[in-house]
Structure 1
Amino acid sequence: MNSVTVPLPAAAAARRDYTTIGLIGLAHGCSHFFHMLLPPLFPAFIREFGLSYSELGLLVTTFFVISGIGQALAGFLVDKTGARPVLFAAFGCFILASLAAALANGFGGLMLAAALAGLGNSPFHPVDFTILNKRVSQPRLGHAFSVHGISGNLGWALAPVFLIGISGAAGNWRMAYVGSALVALVILLLLVFKRDAIDDRQGSWAHERAGAATTPAPDEHPMAFLRLPSVWLCFSFFFFSTAALSAIQSFASPALQKMFGLPETLTAFVVTGYMLCGAAGMVVGGFWVARSASLERNIGFAMAGSAALLLLAGSGWLPGLATAGIAALAGFGTGLAGPSRDMLIKRAAPPGATGRVYGTVYSGLDVGFALAAPVFGAMLDHGRANDVFYGAAVALMLGIGAASMVGLARRRTLATA
């Protein structure tokens, strides 16, 4: 039985939207913080456990293999049970991952922490985009995607500062993970307290609000969306673009140390700079996507600029500090492309299958991280620090090609409809 929805006054609707956007942004920022649960303290693991960069890359691979498989499955779970309980369970995994890292006595303990963090990370994109798409008013949806992306970059940026800072202040890297457990616990308690604002059962899809007759036929197979070329092209785009991000997140700091002899205390914050520049790019990108009809062109322009800066960083032509700054500045272009990327995927998602589409497409992110990390780690083990930046640039260019093909596939679909 359908109930009649009474429209909220404009001010009340705005407050409701901003509350939902803020809470989901905070949750998403925490998920990205936990992407970086282990990499900032790689030097401590090398000193204490004698691990190689290839082994450290396997920790990243473990995180993202579990996250990628879980993300594809989580999309189905979110579509069936709702997003909110899945979100609460994810934060429980983050708390357990932090405690496992704090108690780790070797590679096996760190592997457990990576696995738990990956499991916690797996449902975030299907959860977040289901809640945002169902609860946020259409005029604010582009900005909601922008805030979502910005918060993720801020989570990435905060993790090295937080973990390295607490580790240094306490004189013990394990205390950093006690701190990260408390961060996850506090955010979980806030989400539980404000649970009505993230209840996707109280919202509706945009096509339902508009009364459009675009809901899939009842007898359509739940896996029918996998036949859409745009879904797999979006997957490919995420694979390539996040392979580049994996290089910067996990290995830009040691690469700069090897290339120029810069101290770890300086290079560790290149990732923070990259993510802050990315957040600034997303602010601009949120307005840009609202004024530009060509999402693929936005992505191509922005990511080509980032690729050029990473090629310059890898060349070694500039002094060490300038190279570190150039590598950080490359984050602006990837951030600028972020809102256009999210809108591109929204267009590829058929009504009623958004959780599944986001789960499948964003698992390309996890696969990209998982496969790239040991490759870039092996480059460092073999003394090829410059190739970390060259490889990241090439991956971005391949991502531009995938995004362009998404647009082409969509235009062909519309032409034959």
Structure 2
Amino acid sequence: MTTAFAPEERRILGSVSGAHFVSHVHILALPPLFPLLRDSMGVTFLELGFALTLFNIVSACTQAPMGFLVDRVGPRRALVSGLLLGGFAFAMAGIGGSYAWLLAAMALAGLANAVYHPADYAILGSSIQEAHVGRAFSLHTFAGYAGSAVAPALMLGAASLGGVGFALVLAGLLGPLAALPLLREALAERSQPARAKPAPGAPRLLNAAVMTLLAFFVLIALSNSSIQGFAVSAWNAAHGTSLTAGNIALTAWLAMSAAGVLVGGYVADRTKRHGLVAAAGLGCAALLFLVAGSIAWSPLPLLLVMGLSGFLSGMIMPSRDMLVRAAAPPGQAGAVFGVVSTGFNIGGMAGPLACGWLLDHGQPQMVFIAAASCLGLAVASALWQETRRVRRVSLAAAE
């Protein structure tokens, strides 16, 4: 088995991961600037929050259709278009300088954001050798983590140098910059013969496996958004854990998730039992959530528990993506990734509302129980996928 990426694979992986990096910078470009935007535009934080809500609503509503478009026009052409549209949106927000321009820009940015997952995974799944796909998915995911980590410092640093408008325009310029390495392949896609339409299309796509994976993504997003947004407040309310200790533990969870993603790529390339990997990792992470929320830990044990939970949560991500790839009918990888990735938006919108309600009603420990319960249901989904795979292999061997 070849263990190293070929030069062409490295080039493709670098360009697609660069696009994913930019997409995460764009997702987190506004929040660090909220205090400055409030003063410069004369708006409230609620109005600024609505701009982010608009971004997520547009992205959630268009991600599945964008997946179908990716399969029709080609993933590279779609990805270049998304990068250029996202870049234009943020440049427009910076130049326009008003709240109305900001809302229009966030709607366009949400549309651009809907392109990334279906296009990225379609390119990687078709361009990387089978022995390397797991690692390719893990490096792609890690690039997104890196974009999220860089965004606050980048935006605040740019704003300190040239103001809010300059920072937004700079974020916009990242889109065309990331599109440059993809342009040659995008033009080559344009010259290829028209892609054949999958038949019969939607009935093949919206099968039990794909819909189960959509639920799987929703459950993981519900759990992760609950922990990321409300764990610190829940620890403080339930056990009097200081905000400093809680934030350190949450940071450990996020950092170790990123480390786990890299390790998970090697795991995914060394097994076909991706459902078992996902089930084992998520099951252990769920138990650790219960442990973290049920006891008044001192800072160091809490950091260790959450760090291990984050590592396990990150480790399953490449196997999660391999499950989606295996469920995609031929020629419909973009559409399938578009459909299941909608689960991120659904869970990301519902999780914070549910956890906020629990905290408002004096049930902080239920935040961890709810997060663990969602992962428990995700374990059942992963095991169903694994059972289905084993049955399919057995039937193929019997023929």
- With the shorter chain as reference, the TM-score category is 0.7 to 0.9
Change in Cα spacing, 1:101 to 1:219, as seen in structure 2 (3 Å) is closer
Q: How does 1:260-275 map to 2 (within 5 A)?
A: 260-262=241-243, 273-275=252-254
Q: How does 1:111-130 map to 2 (within 5 A)?
A: 114-130=106-122
Compute the displacement of 1:136 (Å). Answer: 2.3
Q: Unaligned regions of 5+ residues in structure 2, if any?
A: none
Q: Which moved more, 1:184-193 or 1:70-79?
A: 184-193
Q: How does 1:166-205 map to 2 (within 5 A)?
A: 166=157, 170=160, 175=164, 178-179=166-167, 181-196=169-184, 201=189
Q: Provide, for residues 241-292 of structure 1, a one-character-per-residue CA deviation record: whole Å limited to 9, x for no partner.
A: 11112223444455566653425xx866766543331221122111112222
SS of 2:329's equivalent in the other structure is coil
Q: What code does the residue aligned with 1:182 have? A: L
Q: What code does the residue aligned with 1:290 have? A: D
Change in Cα spacing, 1:74 to 1:25, as seen in structure 2 (3 Å) is same
Compute the displacement of 1:320 (Å). Answer: 5.0
Compute the displacement of 1:141 (Å). Answer: 2.1
**Is the counterpart of residue 405 in structure 1 residue 384 in structure 2?**
yes
**Is the counterpart of residue 67 in structure 1 residue 46 in structure 2?**
no
Change in Cα spacing, 1:304 to 1:261, as seen in structure 2 (3 Å) is same
**Is the counterpart of residue 28 in structure 1 residue 28 in structure 2?**
no
Change in Cα spacing, 1:20 to 1:102, as seen in structure 2 (3 Å) is same
Corresponding residue for residue 208 of structure 1: none
SS of 1:318's equivalent in the other structure is coil
Corresponding residue for residue 342 of structure 1: 321
SS of 1:292's equivalent in the other structure is coil
Q: CA separation in 2, counterparts of 1:371 and 1:231?
A: 21
Change in Cα spacing, 1:126 to 1:393, as seen in structure 2 (3 Å) is same
| Contact in 1 for aligned 2:86/2:175 (Cα 8 Å) | no
SS of 1:122's equivalent in the other structure is helix
Q: Provide, for residues 376-400 of structure 1, a one-character-per-residue CA deviation record: whole Å limited to 9, x for no partner.
A: 3444455554443333222222211
Q: What is the RMSD of the two structures over their aligned residues, measured on CA atoms?
A: 4.0
Corresponding residue for residue 140 of structure 1: 132
Corresponding residue for residue 353 of structure 1: 332
**Is the counterpart of residue 244 in structure 1 residue 232 in structure 2?**
no
Corresponding residue for residue 289 of structure 1: 268
| Contact in 2 for aligned 1:71/1:123 (Cα 8 Å) | yes
Q: CA separation in 2, counterparts of 1:130 and 1:72?
A: 14
| Contact in 2 for aligned 1:20/1:197 (Cα 8 Å) | no
Corresponding residue for residue 86 of structure 2: 94
| Contact in 2 for aligned 1:234/1:345 (Cα 8 Å) | yes
| Contact in 2 for aligned 1:151/1:279 (Cα 8 Å) | no
| Contact in 2 for aligned 1:304/1:396 (Cα 8 Å) | yes
| Contact in 1 for aligned 2:249/2:299 (Cα 8 Å) | no
Q: CA separation in 2, counterparts of 1:270 and 1:104?
A: 38
Q: Provide, for residues 286-309 of structure 1, a one-character-per-residue CA deviation record: whole Å limited to 9, x for no partner.
A: 111222232111111111222233
Match of 2:294 among 315, 320, 339: 315
Compute the displacement of 1:328 (Å). Answer: 4.8
Q: What code does the residue aligned with 2:269 have? A: A
SS of 1:32's equivalent in the other structure is helix
Q: Which moved more, 1:13-22 or 1:187-196?
A: 187-196
Q: CA separation in 2, counterparts of 1:200 and 1:323?
A: 52
Q: How does 1:102-117 map to 2 (within 5 A)?
A: 114-117=106-109
Q: What code does the residue aligned with 2:241 have? A: F
TM-score, normalized by length of structure 2?
0.80
Match of 1:153 among 129, 137, 145: 145
Change in Cα spacing, 1:97 to 1:388, as seen in structure 2 (3 Å) is farther
Q: Which moved more, 1:270-279 or 1:19-28?
A: 270-279
